Every structure is written in structure tokens, then in C-alpha cells.
Structure 1
Amino acid sequence: MFKLPSNWQVKSLGEICSITTGDKDVNEGNVNGEYFFFTCAAVPLRSSSYSFEGKAILLPGNGANVGLVLYYDGKFEAYQRTYVLNNFTTDVKYVYFHLRERWKISQENKQYGSATNYIRFDNIANYKIPIPPLPIQKQIAEILEKADQAKQKRKDANKLTDEFLQSVFIEMFGDPVRNPNGWEKKMISEISKVGTGGTPSRENPEYFIGNIPWVKTTEVDNNRIFETEEKITEEALNESNCTKFPKATVLIALYGQGLTRGRTSILEIEACTNQASAAILPSKKINSIFLWRQLLHFYNHLRSLSRGGNQPNLNLSFIKNLKVIFPPLSLQQQFAEIVNKTEALKEKQKQSKQELEKLFQSLMQRAFKGELV
């Protein structure tokens, strides 16, 4: 247990702020409303009215997002199971960052309910927080806010990188679905072999303790695949309908939960896949990176082709017969070079993002031990 500086105090949240809940039901929201409506979801709804104004911390009172900590400054509405903390005698941002670092972990074993988990008023009111003098609170909050903003800027930079590559593709080739530039189109089966994978029997756990990468559709996420969550053995490969696909194979998710169906990836390693993905093998007739980036633009089109009941699927026949644009190979390769250079920059951004995250967590831990300022 660490010792706080002598000029710090420990107080409960109930001693330093007002704690209440909203009084609105979820169905009282209005998608066109002017004000944010904070419920127990991670993303607020909208409302035509507001009951709160000013700086506040919001804590979901039940459900999967118990432990989430949100900050807002302005006029807003709140759900009847969302706790609103306001009228602070301390610096609000200081308390916000402390709760972001400690609140979720502190409540893991203090929740109630079986069907739906929830917390009670006393969970919040009795929660203890170290309180330094107000000038130190403000210093800590300012340092952590700057570190948090740096993290967000790096996240925004990654998004801009992806948007840049989409724009470059459209600039060079146009929308591949509508094909306004009139490029020659070919079915995928005309330019490459298309296959699928399989799943070794789960009844034999030893199949999944090998070193052969095995891709699940949840990992097909419009990305380059360098690693997989699970790996299988040679026996699993030989004794099932699995196939090992080469590097530069393009994967399309045929089915899966939520938004998975229609997503694509490209293998940066040799790997097997489950039967829920189509695998387009690399071919000398088309550049794999060009094909992969083209198929990213086909996402909505692919989903519209799906058939079935509650969970519509794609199938290999759809993929084989899907027509893609086929510009000169030299132009495809030119685009692929741009992608590779841009992706290399993105990888550096990713490393920078991880370093910023580690720095932020370190600052948070030191801050509330009295070791930062």
C-alpha cells in the first residue's frame, strides 16, 4: 500500500459532489433532439429537453457498461439508471481521470443482480478518492488531459491514413462497383482460384496447440493479418478439410455476427481459415493488394448480395462470379506501392499509439499516488 503525501486527504465521492440519477425513460429520447441524452449505453442518444447543465461525470448504473466513466460540460438529459455527479467542491477533471483509472476495477466484485447487473447509490457515494490541494488537482488534470489528447490525435491520424488510401483508389480507378471509368471487368474466378477453409474438430483439443496460424472470421476486419488468435497442428491440417493458404491470399467473410459479413483481409503469413471465409489465392493476373483494397469498396454491395433468413450469408459461388475492375497491371502495382508506403507509416503510428497509451497509463498511476507533481 502506498503512502499519500501529508497534504492530501481521502474523501468519499458523497463528500465532494452531488449524486443523483436522471428521471427519463429511454423511449423519451428524440433522434433529432438538440441535447445529449445519457443512458447506460456507451454512446449518448439525443433529447429535445434537458434536466442538467454544467460540468458532470456520468456513470451507467446497470448493464454491460457498468464501469464506464463519461465527462460532459453543457446541457444534457439523463436516463433514470444513469448516475450524474455534479456540483463538485474539487476539480471535476481530476475526479474524472481518477475514476477512469480506478472505477471499473473497483466495482467488479461489488455489483448486484443476476439477469442484469447493477450498482447502487452507496457504491458511488462511499467510493474513496485521494484529494490533493486544489492547485495540484488542476496540475494533474491538465497533464493527463494533454496526454489524453495526444492519444486521440494519434487515433485520428490512423483514421485519416485509411481515408487517404480510399481516396487514392477512387482518384486512380473510380468507384469499382459503378465503374464510371469503364475499366474492363472480370469475374474473380477468371483471374484467380477461390477456395475456403475448415474447422478441425473441437472434440480434439490437441488440434489447437500447434503452430499453424488459423484465421476465424472475427479476425477478418478489413486488415492485414500478421498473427492469429489460434493455431492448429499438422495433424489437424491433415485430418480435416483445412487448407493452408499462401501469403497475399485475400479473404472475404462469408458470414458472421453483426457487421462481419463482407469484410476483407489480406494474409501477410501462410495460414489456414475456417469455412466462414472465402480465400482468393494470389495470381500473376492481378495484384493482390489492389484486389484487396478494391474489395473494401464492395462491402455494402457484397452484403446486399447475401441470401438467407435471420442471418443472410454469402457463398463461394457469389465470390467466384463477382466481377471486379481489371485495369492494367502496371497501374495496379503503382497503387500497391502507395499502399505499402502508407501502411508502413501507419505501422509507425501504431507503435507511437501504443507508446502513448503506456505513457498515459503510467501518468495515471503515478498521479493518484502523489508521485506526478
Structure 2
Amino acid sequence: MSELKRRLLKDLVLEVKPGFACGENDPNGVFQVRMNNVTKSGGIDLSKQRRVPRSHLRLEKDKLLPGDVLFNATNSPDLVGKTLFWSGLNEEAVYSNHFQRIRVDEEKVDPKYLSRWLAYQFDSGVFRSLCKRWVNQATVSKERLLALRVPLLPLVKQERLAAILDQVDMLRLKRREAIALLDDLAQSIFISMFDVGGGHPAAPLGEQLSLITSGGRGWAKYYSDSGSIFIRSLDVRMNSIEIGEVAYVHAPDNAEARRTRVECGDVLLTITGSRIGRVATVPGNLSGAYVSQHVAILRPVQEKILPEFLSFYLSMPFGGQVQISNMQYGQTKPGLNFKQVAKFMIPLPEISLQREFVERTLQVRKLQASHVRSLAALDQLFASLQHRAFSGTFWDHETIGEAA
């Protein structure tokens, strides 16, 4: 297929108009879409709402109508360019001065197609390169926005493409929701089995460990293209270790290296920096890895406490995370020391109960892993569809039938 014809955005719109600023918040006022209400993926987040007084002078002029496209023209450099297609709410709404409201000529371009194309530009980093920057803020001017050249298809194909992308995006959303619900299920199992806050004796964590230590400094000089895996704080997530870009080290043969080498069943806890409090159990395939100075190694005495149980308790918002938050020191660079970690009070149900919990949550994690794999496949499909849609190859060899 030949390359798509492109038209300047300014030739496809009827109006591009900024919203208004308002510092007042009236609980009985009109909902105003602000930066935090638009997600990076182009969805709407209504968890935090600001309402402006109904007497505001700009209210009538800046109402949103179904089919409007909201372009986030001012934000941080990483977030400028987020785009929301406004399908409407069950109430009226306006928008802030950080957005440009785009109303298109629907005889030339489908608004949902345009919003999808703008979102694709955001994902591709186009607006990050176009924006003008100040300290912690960036903006894409109206002139630069209107100078963008939009690839156009016949309207019926624009609508079909937008509908297919919507369909795949909805499947991605449902997968994310399922993953989150399974997290909630695991927490519910924990609460139902262990009655957090009572019912089981508690003891200091230090008494349940055979080792508590952390990585040392100066590992950068041992970095290599192969060797042993080096686990950094960014690799430790909540109840999982996810290594995106693997770092390797050729560790020296000395006591310091042996001290910081992890074993299967160790529990890793991030103890410094912005990621403080993340915790995960070391799986068998990472036994023999080494950790950075920002990661503590907790080695449970497994006759007293199972590592999976300990990791999960420390990850609980109303369990270990409360203690981590209360004990950490420092404001600009928070951290935990070994004495503080050893003082964490940990419930100690019978090992048989801990083992039952681990087995039940293992089934949840297996199901969750299946959803994660499905989400990864959907993400890949969505990215491929976007690229094909806006490069003009989507319709080659009747691929529309395959995608639908």
C-alpha cells in the first residue's frame, strides 16, 4: 500500500481552544478535567475531582461535548501530550487551562481516530521532542500542535480502525483489572486466615532470621557482560523480582562477596531511596545472585517462618508497610537500618497454617501470571495495530478481517 496522505491538523479542525484556571473548589460545582484526570494511556481517572463554581464566567464557553478531543498541552516533559477522547459523563464538565480542546471537522477526520493518532504520537515521544521546557514543566504550543501532519484514510476506515483499537484497549484494561483483583484476593486470603491485628503471637523479626545484611559499595567495578546476576533496588517489586535489563558482575572471591550472595528463599527488602519498602522472595533461578547496597537480605529460619509468608506480611499496607513507614529515617533520602528492620513485629501462626497460605496464594499467583502473559501479548498486539494503522499497512492483504 502507498504511504497515507497527510493533512495539516489545522486544516482538519473547527476549533482549538484552551480551558481556564480556577483556584476555587465548590463541592456543588461543575467537574473540571485536570491533568491528573487523564491517564498516560488516554483514559479518564475520576478518583480525584475538582469542581468549579457554577457562577464562573467561562463555564458556558468551556463545556465539553461528546466527540471533543482534549490535548494536555502543559505538563511535565514526560506527560505533556496525553490525549483524552471525551465520550461524555452523566453530568456536565469543563476543562483546565492545561488542555487544548480540539473540535474537528467530522467530514474530514473522525475525532476518535484523531485522538488515537495523538495518543500514538505521545507513546512515540513526539511531544517530548516538540515541547518548550521550563523547570519541571513543558508545553506544546498551539502552533506546533496545528502544524502536525495527520495521516488520513477514508472516514469509514478511520472509524473502523478506531473501533478496533478501542476493542483491544478494552481487553487490556480488563486484564489489568483482573491482575489488580487477584492482588486483592491474595490479601483477602491472608486476612481471613490470620486475623491481622490479633489471634496469633507476634515477635521481633530479628529473632526469626539467621542473617540480616545488605550489599556493599563499589560493585560498579565488577560489572561485566556476563557472570552472576546483580539485583538492584529497581529489580525488587512487591512480592516479585522482575529484572528487565539484566546487570551482571564478576564477583571477587572474598568474604564480602560471599556475605552478599543470595540463596533461594531469602527475602529481599529495599532499604534506601524512593523504592524503600519493596519486598520479594528469591526464587530458585536467582540463587547465587548478588545485591546492591540498597537491598537488604533477610534469611528466615524456616522452622519458624516461611519466606513467602514473611514477604507477603511485609508487603501488606496495614501490616509490614505501616512499620516500614513509621521506622524509616530521613526526609530527602529515606532509609532503614538493620536494627530497625530487626524490630519489626511479625505475627507467627503455626507453620502448617503458613504453608496452607503459601499453597493457596501460589494458585492465585499462577492465575495472575497467566493474565500478565495475556496482557503482554495484548500490549504487543496493540502496539503493532497502532503502527500499522498510522503507517498505512493495516489494510494490506485484507488484514482488517484478521484484526477484527
**Paired letter, 1:263:** R
Trace 1:65-214 onto structure 2 (pairs within 5 A): 65-74=79-88, 75-89=92-106, 90-103=109-122, 104-113=124-133, 115=135, 116-175=137-196, 178-179=197-198, 181=199, 183-201=200-218, 205-214=221-230
- Deviation digits for residues 235-265 of structure 1, max 9, x if unmatched? 28766696101112112222322xx322211
The Cα offsets for residues 263-305 of structure 1, whole Å up to 9 and x where unpaired, read as: 2111112232223333211432221111111212221232022
CA contact (8 A) 2:235 2:243 kept: no
State the 1:158 CA deviation: 0.7
Paired position in structure 1 for 2:42: none
User: For 1:208 and 1:78, how far apart are their aligned partners in 2?
Assistant: 51
1:247 has 2:287 as partner: no
Paired residue for 1:21?
A: 18
Letter of the 1:110 counterpart: L
**Aligned 8 A contact 2:211 2:298 in 1:** yes
Correspondence 1:1-373 to 2 at 5 A: 3-4=2-3, 9-17=5-13, 18-24=15-21, 27-28=23-24, 34-39=30-35, 46-49=50-53, 50=59, 51-54=62-65, 55-62=67-74, 63-64=76-77, 65-74=79-88, 75-89=92-106, 90-103=109-122, 104-113=124-133, 115=135, 116-175=137-196, 178-179=197-198, 181=199, 183-201=200-218, 205-225=221-241, 227=243, 229-235=246-252, 243-257=260-274, 260-268=275-283, 269-270=286-287, 271-285=289-303, 286-297=305-316, 298-368=320-390, 369=392, 371-372=394-395, 373=400
Q: What is the CA–CA distance in structure 2 between the aligned matches of 1:170 and 1:328, rounded to whole Å?
A: 15
1:149 Cα deviation from its structure 2 partner? 0.2
Kindly provide the CA deviation profile for residues 115-149 of structure 1, in whole angstroms up to 9, marking residues without a partner as x: 44332112111211122222222211111111110
Partner deviation per Cα, 1:169-224 (whole Å, 9 max, x = no partner): 1011111xx22x2x12222222222322224426x544354432222223332132
Partner letter of residue 211 of structure 1?
G
Please give the alpha-carbon distance, in whole angstroms, between the structure 2 residues aligned to 1:350 and 1:236. Answer: 38
The 3-state SS of whatever aligns with 1:10 is: strand
Shift of 1:28: 4.5
The alpha-carbon deviation at position 162 of structure 1 amounts to 0.7
Distance 2:254 2:112 in 1: 54
Normalising by structure 2, report the TM-score: 0.80
Q: 1:236 to 1:350 in 2, by over 3 A?
A: farther
Q: Percent identity?
A: 21
Change in Cα spacing, 1:68 to 1:309, as seen in structure 2 (3 Å) is closer
What is the root-mean-square deviation of aligned Cα atoms in Å? 2.8
User: In structure 2, the residue corresponding to 1:117 is in which secondary structure?
Assistant: strand
What is the TM-score normalised by the length of structure 1? 0.86
What letter corresponds to residue 19 of structure 1 in structure 2?
V
Q: Which runs of 5+ in 1 are unaligned?
A: none
Range with bigger deviation, 146-155 or 286-295: 286-295
CA distance in structure 1 between the partners assigned to 2:278 and 2:326 by the alignment: 13
Alignment coverage as a number of residue pairs: 361
Instruction: Name whichever of 166-175 and 290-299 sits farther off.
Output: 290-299
